Amino acid sequence: MPLALGLAWALDIAFGEPRNAWHPVAWLGRVLGPLGDGLCRWTPAAAFAGGAVAWCGIAGLLGLGAAWLQGTLLGLTPAWAALGLALLLKPCFAWRMLRDEVRAVDVALAESLEAGRKRVAWLCSRDVRTMDADEVRETAIETLAENLNDSVVAPLFWFALAGLPGAVVYRFANTADAMWGYRGRYEWAGKWAARADDVLSWLPARMTAALLAPIRAAAWRVLTQEASRTPSPNGGWPMGAMALLLGVRLRKPGVYALNASASSPQPADLPRAQRHASRAAWLAAGLAGLACTLGSPWRLGA
C-alpha cells in the first residue's frame, strides 16, 4: 500500500538504519556467516548444492513469514496496517545511510587524502592504502551508483511488484550475495547466491540507469556498451549511467574503466553525483508508490 511505503520512506529519511541489534539484515549476517563457512569446507559439488538448498530454504521461510505478516497486518485498520508494514519494510532499503556515507567521504577528503581513504574503506572491499584523491572519488561515486540500485531501487521495485515478501526476499538475496558471492573460498558455496542476485537485480539495475539518466535511444546504446565492460551483468548499468551523466571516468584498476576517455572526477563531481542519486531515489520512491496505488493486487482494499 502506498501509505506504508510513504511512512517507511519517511522513517528512513528521519532516522536512517536501526541499530544492528534490531536490524534484520544484521540477524541474517549472523546466520549466513557460520553457514557459509561450513559450506566452504565441502567439495565443490556438495558446496554448490548445499548453497543452493540453503538459499532456497531461507528465502522460502522469509517469503512465507513476510506473506503471513503482511496478511495479518492487512486485516487490521488501515492506519495500523500501514504503520506495521512500514516498520517491516524500512529495513529492506537504505537511502539515508547510503547518502550520508558518500557525503562523509566528500567531507573527509576535503580534510585530507588519508582521511578520505579511511572513510571510503567503509564503502568498499578494495585496498585503499595507495589510492589517490581521484580514485577515492571514483570509488565513492561507483558505490553510490551501484548501491542506489541494490539498496533503494531494487527493494522498492520488488515491494511494488510483490509486496513485503518481494522486498524481504530481495534484501535476503542481496545480503547473501554480499557475503557469499565471491570467487576464491566462496566460489562454489556462493555461486547460487550470486546468480540469484543477478536475476533479481537485472531489471531494477536497468531501471536505476534510466532513473539516473533518461536518455535517447542512441545514447542508450552507448550506455549498453559501457555497462558491458564490468564483470557484473548489472553493476555496470547504474555506474555507467552515472559516468556518462557526470562526464567522468569511473574505473576499478585492472578490472574495468567506464567512460574511459573522460577525465577523473573533480571535487565538484562528488556532490553532483549525490544530487543526481538523490533525485533518482526520490523518483523511484514516487514511482513505487504510484505502482502500489494502481497495480498491486495485495494493496489494502483490493
pLDDT tens profile 235-271: 999 999 999 999 999 999 889 999 999 999 999 999 9
Q: What Å distances lie between residue 58 and 62, 144, 232, 285, CA to CA?
A: 6, 28, 24, 27
In a domain, 43, yes or no: yes
The Cα 168–Cα 172 span in angstroms is: 6
Using an 8 Å Cβ cutoff, are 141 and 259 in contact?
A: no
Residue 267 identity (one-letter amino acid): P
The pLDDT of residue 151: 97
In the chain, the number of structural domains is: 1
The pLDDT of residue 184: 80
In a domain, 301, yes or no: no
Domain that holds residue 164: 2-295
The pLDDT of residue 216: 65
In a domain, 284, yes or no: yes
The pLDDT of residue 125: 83
- For residue 190, what are the contacts with CB-CB under 8 A and spacing of at least 6? 36, 51, 176, 177, 179, 180, 181, 182
Ranges of residues in the chain whose predicted pLDDT is under 50: 298-302
In a domain, 302, yes or no: no
The pLDDT of residue 20: 86
Smallest Cα–Cα separation from 223: which of 243, 204, 203? 243
The Cα 300–Cα 302 span in angstroms is: 6
The Cα 34–Cα 21 span in angstroms is: 18
In a domain, 208, yes or no: yes
The pLDDT of residue 301: 37
pLDDT tens profile 220-238: 889 999 999 999 999 999 9
Kindly report the number of other CB atoms within 10 A of residue 152's CB atom: 27
The pLDDT of residue 297: 52
- For residue 192, what are the contacts with CB-CB under 8 A and spacing of at least 6? 48, 51, 52, 55
End-to-end Cα, the chain, rounded Å: 10
